[in-house]
Amino acid sequence: MKKPGRNDACWCGSGKKYKKCHIDFDERMEEIEAQGHIIPDHSLIKNKEQIEKIKESAKINIAVLDYVSKHIRAGISTAEIDRWVYEQTVKMGGVPAPLNYQGFPKSVCTSINNEICHGIPSEDIILKDGDIVNVDCSTNLNGYFSDSSRMFCIGEVSDDRKKLVEAAKQALEVGLKQVRPWGFLGDMGQAINDFIKSKGYSVVREVGGHGIGLEFHEDPWVSYVSTKGTEMLMVPGFMFTIEPMINMGKPDLYTDEENGWTLYTKDGLPSAQWEIQVLVTEDGYEIISY
């Protein structure tokens, strides 16, 4: 950590002197780092002004997913969902963050049944009765980013798929109970993995969550097969996504060779995922986007 002098302005942008603001905070982080733990860089800790602007982005993200929730149904193409997301996001002043991100061609990810994530919307993909689909929406509002996803059951869905979708949602609640200042991301990761295993499912290992706010994807990468007491330290102002990908069968996956994006379960069984964006606060957490 690069620290200012005691009487210099604090790095957080509060306008207060460092000794009156974050000096004790930094000293506590240094003590934890000296014990061999990973601590966040100052650039990953959001101040009040940044948090408020990220929340404005999240209002759009939530509204767009609410719109999808009201209109999604059997018989529509995933390209139609992509149009909804683009039009609603732009109408509210934002930009869909996935569009052209590292070459991704659409405004949203739509992942159906055995697609784990990064499903690309298409006119040729029509939702049908019995499908489960994840709609992953991300918004850029004036350089401030939000990100969340929801699962949708289309028409009459089998009981085993319903249970998978519900377990994936419950995993977020299990993980949230471990989100607290001065805890570790591994506390959350192990809690989620233990819970999902108890349900007879598996957690994808290679794909996880991420820091977010001032960039679409920030450090750290967030694992959901981690171990309690490991991974990055959570501190007030730290923001990240909780988005474990839950497979009905084994955790193994493969990438679509044609588009280079979409991930599938190797055994062909369904996968489910919900995503929320979380801020670590002084006494716990706040859900920013859902």
C-alpha to C-alpha distances, 51 to 48, 58, 90, 145, 250, nearest whole angstrom:
5, 10, 21, 10, 38
Whether residue 42 lies inside any domain: the answer is yes
Q: Which residues pair with 184 in a beta bridge?
A: 233
Whether residue 23 lies inside any domain: the answer is no
The predicted structure's pLDDT at residue 61: 98
Whether residue 22 lies inside any domain: the answer is no
The predicted structure's pLDDT at residue 2: 85
Whether residue 100 lies inside any domain: the answer is yes
Whether residue 172 lies inside any domain: the answer is yes
Q: CA geometry: angle at 190 spanning 187 and 194, to 5°?
A: 140
Whether residue 26 lies inside any domain: the answer is no
Distance CA 101, CA 248 (A): 29
Whether residue 251 lies inside any domain: the answer is yes
Q: Quote the domain boundaries for residue 217.
A: 35-289
Whether residue 9 lies inside any domain: the answer is no
How many Cβ atoms from other residues are within 10 Å of residue 200's Cβ? 11
* Domain CATH code at residue 266: 3.90.230.10
Task: Work out how many domains the chain is built from and give that number.
Answer: 1
pLDDT in single tens digits along all 290 residues of the chain: 789 999 999 999 999 999 999 999 999 999 999 999 999 999 999 999 999 999 999 999 999 999 999 999 999 999 999 999 999 999 999 999 999 999 999 999 999 999 999 999 999 999 999 999 999 999 999 999 999 999 999 999 999 999 999 999 999 999 999 999 999 999 999 999 999 999 999 999 999 999 999 999 999 999 999 999 999 999 999 999 999 999 999 999 999 999 999 999 999 999 999 999 999 999 999 999 99
